[in-house]
Amino acid sequence: MLRVVVCVSGGGTNLQAILDAIDKKEITNTEIIAVISNNAGAKALTRAENHGICAICMSPKSFSDRAAFNRAFTEKMCELNPDLIVLAGFLVRIPEDMVKKFSNRIVNIHPSLIPSFCGVGYYGLKVHEKVLERGVKVTGATVHFVNEGMDEGPIIAQKAVYIEDDDTPEVLQKRVMEQAEWILLPKAIDDIANGRIEVVNDKVRKTEKSEIKVQR
């Protein structure tokens, strides 16, 4: 059974997609043991509580400085000791020490086709604003493992979404969620839980082996 902690900053629509997929058995061998948010008012925490899942708020604003938050956040994650950490719209950078402790055990969903429209400053609605400003015809979403860089970890899966002439950032954001994010993230979790993914030389490939194999 894959023990998962989901980190969310806002409404938690990707979290809901994961919960729904577990309920429908589209994700198997998986248990969400906690949901963490940096925002006490996040609807994601309510979604967790409604499913009987431990809901935790940890905000950098509650600590004397970012270093203190990073230590506390990493300690809490080590205490929970999940098999997988899922960043489902989490707008806090993961501490480097946590990335090292949970190497190849942290995944993120990003609302573009990496390496386009990613990195520092590209998050949430800002991504879709930049996509429309640039005038590209195709965007999408990417699920990837998290490393020390910003949106630079090994890519697990991507799905394209076409842009329409009358799109606004809000309309495009919703379509990318519905047509890509809510499909990709549950599938990636199920693949990991059932040993269909391995990381070799910092690249992801699908496998039918019974366990995840990580090589460096």
Positions annotated as catalytic residues are: 110
Measure the CA–CA gap between 187 and 30, rounded to whole angstroms.
12
Measure the CA–CA gap between 94 and 74, rounded to whole angstroms.
9
Q: Which two tokens stand for residue 66?
A: 């970012």
β-pairing verdict for 197-200 and 203-206: antiparallel
H helix or E strand, kind and range, residue 175: helix 169-176
β-pairing verdict for 203-206 and 138-145: unpaired
